Amino acid sequence: MNINQQLYYHYLQDPDFHQNAFALLTATVLFRSMYVMEVNLRPSLRKKYATTELSHEHPDTTHSERLASEKRQHDILKEMWLMVGLGLSIFLGGFGIWSLDNHYCSTIRQWRHEIGLPWGLILEGHGWWHLMTGIGSYFYLVWGIWLRHCLNDKQDDYVLHWPHYFSLPEVITRPESSKISNGKSKNGHIPGETKKWI
């Protein structure tokens, strides 16, 4: 976070300022990343605004290769927007539960005591806030990693592994790109050889 924000918060000791500053910084980074994603990956916007060239835009690329690549870019964008939407919904859902917990704290606390353990834990809004904002942030981090690989034109070396919407996505190395060729792996090391640290 911004050091000025931290110093000002330390001076004020107002949690509302801290929460609002965090929300503003998070929203700024999120919207900037969305803009970068759209401008650099969406084929129709790329031609007009992008600053980097992807391999499928090389002059030697055939028309069918270009169309296949544009379809893949659209599929990647669709997947990314789904990840952003789901992650943001989970994050904001956790924030909403926490806000309700703060607003109706005495009532919810009374309900928790009446229900007792272990079922009273379900009404722990602050716990749900931690869990849901953590999962939402995880979605954002995986999206950022996948976006970075796509911006670096490495989407053929990695794959977004997300078998279904109720699982956590992950970016993994594509199996065929990690194959060993000519006795050396892609990183230049010979298999079985250990590095000597000096």
Pairing of strands 158-161, 170-173: antiparallel
Amino acid type, 184: K
Q: Which residues contact 91 (CB under 8 A, 6 or more apart)?
A: 132, 133, 135, 136, 137, 139, 140
Locate 5 and state its tokens.
Answer: 């924000």
Q: How many CB atoms lie within 10 A of CB 150?
A: 21
pLDDT one-digit tens code per residue, 29-81: 899 999 988 888 887 776 666 665 555 555 666 778 778 778 888 888 999 99
Per-residue model confidence (pLDDT) at position 102:
85
Under 8 Å CB-to-CB from 161, ≥6 apart: which residues? 169, 170, 171, 172
Residue entry with tokens 């031609």: 47
pLDDT (tens digit, 9 = 90+) per residue, 103-112?
A: 898 898 898 8
Q: Which residue ranges are tagged as binding site for Zn(2+)?
A: 126, 130
